Amino acid sequence: MKFLMIGALAGLALSANANLLTNGSFEVDAPTNFDNADGGYTFSASGWTPVYGYSGSWAPILGVNTFGSLPDGVQAGFTGGDNAAGQMLQDTGHILSLGETVSFSVEVGHRANLAQTYNMGGQGYAFVTTTDGFFASGSWLTAAPGTFGTVSTSFVVDASLVGRELRVLLGNNAGNQASFDNAVLDVAPVPEPATMAALGLGLASLARRRRKA
């Protein structure tokens, strides 16, 4: 019983929103182009806005030229191509409040084959920013050929971020192509005083019971 109480109270204090990103696994848009021997693709990704260069969704034919497997589903997002950089973004509509905890993760893939007219080096980046261009967190990543690596970050909202809207940026530099899958963005709210008080009372009650025992 005491463990159930602790779990319930802690859940109230630490619960996070569901994934704030739409189409984080890039499964929504069916391929419309099949001129690439390594899989079909489309220059669109529902929920994501292209910024520059190439970006969209693709369904790779798994194998030695692409990936051994995908992190989630049968499609991934991509940026870059034809020796050019690419970028796409998603604005979440979430306005940041002081003390919230923002957690973000995405799988960044390095397409295995490099013997094409441009260098698919696989170096991609994933940044958490705000719609007015304020950088919050994120990093670059180059996975091993044919694999995905994880960009993961978490931060607490400070005064410089309060009132700004969350945005996620995915992209790559010139001369590369990057794939993306399983993007998740969560925001854990600041516990309300009443919730924290209930948590404190519950723990105090458990402490009294333990002393009596």
Furthest C-alpha separation in the chain: 76
Residue 115's Cβ-side half-sphere holds a number of Cα atoms within 13 Å equal to 3
Task: Write down the pLDDT at residue 196.
Answer: 45
Residue 107, beta-bridge partner list: 150, 181
Angstrom distance (rounded) from CA 174 to CA 83: 6
First to last CA, the chain: 15
Task: Write down the pLDDT at residue 189.
Answer: 94
Task: Write down the pLDDT at residue 209.
Answer: 55
Residue 28, beta-bridge partner list: none
Task: Write down the pLDDT at residue 205.
Answer: 53
Would you state the structure tokens that stand for residue 100, as one six-digit string?
A: 């919230």
Global pTM value: 0.82
Q: Which residue has the tokens 């696994």?
A: 25
Q: Which residues of the chain have pLDDT under 50?
A: 1-14, 115-120, 194-199, 201-203, 206
Contact 68, 128 (CB under 8 A): no
Task: Write down the pLDDT at residue 5.
Answer: 36
Angstrom distance (rounded) from CA 113 to CA 38: 9
Distances 133 to 14, 27, 38, 160, 169 between C-alpha atoms, Å: 28, 28, 35, 12, 10
Task: Write down the pLDDT at residue 109.
Answer: 94
Would you state the structure tokens that stand for residue 95, as one six-digit string?
A: 């306005």
8-state DSSP, 43 = S
Task: Write down the pLDDT at residue 212.
Answer: 56
Amino acid, single-letter form, for residue 183: A
Task: Write down the pLDDT at residue 213.
Answer: 55
Task: Write down the pLDDT at residue 8.
Answer: 39
